[in-house]
Amino acid sequence: MKIGVLGAGSWGIALARLLANKMKDVTVWSALPSEVEMLKTKHEHVDKLKGVILPESISYTTKIEEAVSDADIIVMAVPSKFIRNTAASVAPFYQKRQIIVNVSKGIEEESLLTMSQVIEKEIPGAKVAVLSGPSHAEEVGRDIPTTIVAAAEEREVAETIQLLFMSDTFRVYTSSDVLGVEVGAALKNVVALAAGMADGLGYGDNTKAALITRGMAEISRLGIAMGGKAQTFYGLSGIGDLIVTCASMHSRNRRAGILIGKGVPYKEAMAEVGMVVEGVYSAKAAYKLGQKLGVEMPIVEQVNKILFEGKNAADAVSELMLRDRKIENSGDWK
């Protein structure tokens, strides 16, 4: 089986390594000639996945047609803001037998489409699956046990991806809820920004737990309103991914949030993290979707005000704490 991995960031490289170690024929595409040359000569991404040595069997190219033309599976691992342009570049070479696996997490700000929906717009008739869950590339690249979800509308497609990626350290479950998996993946990054801001402000575990729990309530409300299934948000691609992203220093969203909580403007925080902070791009889209569907999302709203309106993070927390009284669960009150 031949695999084309589009995107040589930490996640794309970690997955390319996993597949190559399973004796798959893997070609990685990057738009950056310097990145391709580094990977060819060093067999390591020294900037984004230092210390993870890659199998010499992996091929690298700057020509997208070389990665996709003969591939059975195309893995889309570019940042969310580049998904549309990359899909458009793939379209002339796409063949109906090929499966596209999206591993990018986000919602497009202008269209409010998920990443798989964007791919389907650019490549009509494409067979698209999604791979998502609590899975830092830094750990997958070192074979630390990880569980994840493969979602597709067709069961056969989901099971094909499950078998492709499954290993003794990488366990893959299947799901039919593509939309729910993608919404959970995108919005957890926004909540992780908020969790990082709380850390930057010097708040404690109580605050983190509150943000994770109430953030999950916001994600599930919006996801269900969009057509996702409730159980998805309490699985690996929902609460699982949210916990790992809010709690780990591997999380670029949490690290950026810490800096913002300390008063660093978000653009400077992103530059210091040195990697794409997907939550910044998903925050506006999430807020717009909430407004469009009439879903209350106070954490997402405050994150947007901090990022784009210059609101003080401590003031945002105070506003969240002083909101009108709410019921968590009315249960069987009489």
Q: Inter-axis angle of helices 205-226 and 278-293, to 10 degrees? A: 50
Give Dmax (Cα) for the chain: 71
Clarify whether 188 is annotated catalytic: yes
Closest-CA residue to 158 (of 115, 129, 120): 129
Beta-carbon contacts of residue 168 (< 8 Å; ≥ 6 apart): none
- E strands within 136-267? 146-151, 170-175
Q: DSSP letters of 14-62?
A: HHHHHHHHTT-EEEEE-S-HHHHHHHHHHSS-TTTSTT-PPPTT-EEES
Closest-CA residue to 1 (of 76, 69, 70): 70
Which listed residue (105, 127, 188, 284) is catalytic? 188
| CA separation, residue 146 to residues 139, 142, 236 (Å) | 8, 11, 10
Whether the Cβ atoms of residue 302 and residue 320 lie closer than 8 Å to each other: yes
Strand 59-61 to 146-151 pairing:
unpaired
Alpha-carbon span 269 to 284, nearest angstrom? 17
What would the two tokens of residue 318 be? 């105070």
- How far is the first Cα of the chain from the last one, in angstroms, to the nearest whole number? 61
Alpha-carbon span 222 to 183, nearest angstrom? 8
Closest-CA residue to 194 (of 205, 178, 176, 208): 208
List, by residue number, the catalytic residues. 188
